[in-house]
Structure 1
Amino acid sequence: MKLVKIFSIVFIVYAALVATFESLLGYYQPRGSSAVVIVTSDNDGKKYRRVLSRLDSNGQLYVARNHWPRAWHRRALNNPEVEVVVDGAEANYVAVPVSEVEHQQLSEAHPRGLVFQFMTGFPPRYFIRLDPR
């Protein structure tokens, strides 16, 4: 019984650490030359802005869902016509889910570190290619 209590406490502390880390990332939303702002919309047309890491590969622009908060990803797939601010310039794009081969290539070209994965609770990773409209 004592072992179950210890594991429960460790799990709760870890879950709180992940929730805190994810919340701080969402609140502070780091920006820089390696970031883009994606503007997605819901079915009612309401727009949402999200700062994401920019991934460039073979002349294509990509973004990835690397965290548990993922509403922007769901909206981009449901309403793929998005606006993206890249290097201060806003343009229209189509959000396209990548193929398995493309996913593998991107995962190898842009690996996530173990510490990052640990701090974010080992979320699955999904890529979206942003094709200019």
Structure 2
Amino acid sequence: MNTDKGIKLALILVAVYVGIVVLFESSLGFFQPEAGNTIVIETFDGAGNGYTRVVSLLTSAGNEYVAVNHWPRAWYGRLEETPRIGVARDGGRTIFGAGIVSGAEHDRVQADNPTPLAFRFLTGFPPRYFVRLDPQ
């Protein structure tokens, strides 16, 4: 009987945690908070349709990056398909090339812009990718 109670408790805790992650991610997606170092990006599908998203702007070694560090990441899939990104800031809009970052550059950007453990917990520990904004 104790094993059954332990399993039930573990399943309840997992369900509560998944609920917290879904609630947190959904609220970020719905409210799209803009503050501090956030920018509005626009990604494009194969037909040229644009989709906006609020993300944090990161810097490393003189370059600008955006991080893909949430489970909802359709915008990243569009970037892989169409590697250009519109950035709205300071009342203007600029189109950049989107450089998918890997290897040593990824490790450097991660080290320069660490993610707090509390944030990683609330987002369900998603893998983190970076996109470099390449001027065109």
TM-score range, shorter chain: over 0.9
In structure 1, the residue matched to 2:51 is 48
Runs of 4+ in 1 over 3 A off after TM superposition: none
Is the 2:98–2:132 contact (alpha carbons within 8 Å) kept by the matching residues of 1?
yes
Larger radius of gyration: 2
Gaps of 5+ in 2: none
Count of matched residue pairs: 133
Gaps of 5+ in 1: none
2:9 to 2, 6, 14: 6
User: Where do 1:1-133 residues align within 5 Å?
Assistant: 1-133=4-136
Structure-2 separation of matches of 1:128 and 1:15:
27
Structure-2 separation of matches of 1:124 and 1:89:
31
Residue 57 (structure 1) shift: 1.7
- Aligned-residue sequence identity (percent) comes to 46
Describe the shift of the 1:58–1:86 C-alpha distance in structure 2 as closer, same or farther (beyond 3 A). farther
| Letter in structure 2 aligned against 1:63 | V
Indicate the SS of the match to 2:72: coil
Indicate the SS of the match to 1:54: strand
The Cα RMSD (Å) is 1.1
Q: Which moved more, 1:109-118 or 1:77-86?
A: 77-86
Is the 2:66–2:131 contact (alpha carbons within 8 Å) kept by the matching residues of 1?
yes
Is the 2:57–2:64 contact (alpha carbons within 8 Å) kept by the matching residues of 1?
yes
Structure-2 separation of matches of 1:48 and 1:117:
25
Is the 2:59–2:109 contact (alpha carbons within 8 Å) kept by the matching residues of 1?
no
Is the 1:76–1:95 contact (alpha carbons within 8 Å) kept by the matching residues of 2?
yes
